[in-house]
Amino acid sequence: MERRKKGSNSTVVVGLDVGTTKICAIVGEITGGGIDILAVSAYPSNGLKKGVVIDIEATAHSIRKAIAGVSEDTGLEITEVYVGIAGSHIKSFNSSGAVGIKGREVTHEDVERAIDSASAVYIPLDREILHVLPTEFILDGQDGIKDPVGMAGVRLEVKVYIVTGAVTSVQNLLKCCERAGLEVIDIVLQPLASSHAVLTPYEREMGIVLVDIGGGTTDIALYRDEWLRHTAVLGIGGNHFTNDVSIGLKLPFPEAERVKKKYGSVLPSGTAEDDGRAEVDVVAIDGQVRGIPRKYITEILHPRGEELLDLVKQEVRAIQQSGIAVSGVVLTGGASLLSGFDRMAEAILGLPVRIGYPDRSPRTPAGNGYSLSRTEMQQVNGLKSEYNSPMYATAIGLVLYGAESVDPVEEKFLSSDLFNRIVNTMTGWFKKIVSSKQ
């Protein structure tokens, strides 16, 4: 099945986050002042496992419901979406390429040719390229160049990070959207989308590990010098914490979910009034209400939190050992809201940690140590506070990503830098070539 694979020129952009626990559609309108969020709709998801579609009809049903919600709220007929993809089938690698410039000024076409040559690598038939992301340009041996356009040189080299997905997983996601009556403009790696919502350009520059803890998986993405450099998927998410509570306290899953969110913490409480001995009411499988000491819940959640953070630490160590400095960690995704998780992460990872909210205006809890300025970022306006949650970072990020892909001829209002736009255009252009070869 086809997807359009090029920047839209509409001023309305729809992000569709197909997650393990919920499917979320967000409609944004590009305005002179950034992006106005027109509508948000989320519907429970039952057709995914660990971030990957395993039941097309169930997923299509949830997509239809989420899209119907935003259609109703905006009065718009939604036919095109930017959709996120994740899961352990995602594999990425580095590549490089070079082209001759003959001593004149580098043009956008030269950049395209260089990226094209870096992308000309063997890809197994069962894999599909999702993104070709430049990480560095080198002009006549001068490295570390971010935007070579306009510079004079003889030989332009580019290093790229190529993100691929399993063809079957990509096709299944596209099928779900098609069954829901939607055309997919582009498929976007979820942590790439989330970064647009929660990281500042400064953070992307200085070396930040973004950890998106969803329901089924935890996606890790490293940003350094503005670009995505590394991704990994860990097979633990919020559902594992809920399962532990369900099994440990013999509670039905929905009740375990409620108890986890309401009373759960990965850290024992230090306050005198609540030393964990206070009892909380839970409803058992037989419908009976029982009182249990709150510390039981912590005792269940703490080791799972430690296990997850130890895995994150291994990834961070591997990144550091490859010579890339990491300055901090931003946690996002619904499960990052588990009480005490950010403090535990700081202690285990030995790095500053904050929780990434999509809207970082002053009313948002600030976390620690980072500039929360949206300077140079697309301003997100009109996001209701109930949706200003790490759970919605991917869906809002998809809208922002889509807005940056708006046809540059039409575009006159975005604050994203020229180079971002070149790369978005490039990525679409490259994908067009790949699809025409298939």
- Residues near ligand ATP (CB under 6 A) are 19-22, 51, 214-217, 237-239, 242, 257, 260-261, 333-335, 337-338, 391
Looking at residue 265, the DSSP 8-state letter turns out to be B
Cβ proximity to ligand ATP, 131 vs 260, nearer residue: 260
User: Which residues have a Cβ under 8 Å from the Cβ of 373 and sit 6 or more positions away?
Assistant: 200, 202, 360
Helices 238-249 and 253-263 cross at an angle (nearest 10°) of: 110
AA letter at 399: V
Least Å distance, CB 378 to ligand ATP, is 21
For the bound state, the minimum distance from the C-beta of residue 214 to Mg ion, rounded and expressed in Å, comes to 4
Per partner kind, with CB cut-offs from 5 to 8 A, the member of ligand ATP, Mg ion, none near residue 378 is none
Is residue 15 at the binding interface for Mg ion, with CB under 5 A as the rule?
Answer: no
Among residues 19, 18, 17, the alpha carbon closest in space to that of 27 is found at 17
Strand-strand pairing, 127-139 and 155-166: antiparallel
Per partner kind, with CB cut-offs from 5 to 8 A, the member of Mg ion, ligand ATP, none near residue 217 is ligand ATP
Closest alpha carbon to 378 in 414, 420, 327? 414
Q: Which residue, 391 or 414, has its beta carbon nearer to ligand ATP?
A: 391
Q: Which does 5 bind (CB under 5 to 8 A by kind): ligand ATP, Mg ion, none?
A: none
Q: Is 154 helix (H, G, I), strand (E, B) or coil?
A: coil
Kindly identify the residues of this chain, within the stretch 296-325, that bind Mg ion according to CB under 5 A.
none
Q: Does 334 bind Mg ion (CB under 5 A)?
A: no
> What distance lies between CA 311 and its chain's CA centroid?
19
Alpha carbon distance 432, 161 (integer Å) = 18
Contact flag: residue 358 with Mg ion (CB under 5 A): no
| Contact assessment for residue 104 and residue 154, using Cβ atoms and an 8 Å cutoff | no
- Compare residues 106 and 209 and give the one whose CB is closer to ligand ATP: 209
Residue whose CB is less far from ligand ATP, 23 or 30: 23
State which residue, 223 or 296, has the beta carbon closest to Mg ion: 223
Give the single-character DSSP code of 150: T
CB atoms within 10 A of CB 279: 11
Binding flag, residue 214, Mg ion (CB under 5 A) = yes
Binding mask 165-204 for Mg ion (x = CB under 5 A): ----------------------------------------
Which is nearest to 328 in space by CA: 234, 202, 218, 206? 206
Taken in order 302, 304, 306, 309, the sign of the CA dihedral is negative
* Min separation Cβ 286 and Mg ion, Å: 34
We find the least distance from the C-beta atom of residue 225 to ligand ATP, in angstroms, to be 26
Q: How many residues bind Mg ion (CB under 5 A)?
A: 3
- Per CB under 5 A, 87 contacts Mg ion: no
**19 in contact with Mg ion (CB under 5 A):** yes
Q: In the complex with ligand ATP, which residue's Cβ is closer, 42 or 222?
A: 42
**Spatial distance between the Cα atoms of 434 and 43, rounded to a whole number of angstroms:** 34
Q: Which stretches of the chain bind Mg ion, using CB under 5 A?
A: 19, 214, 394
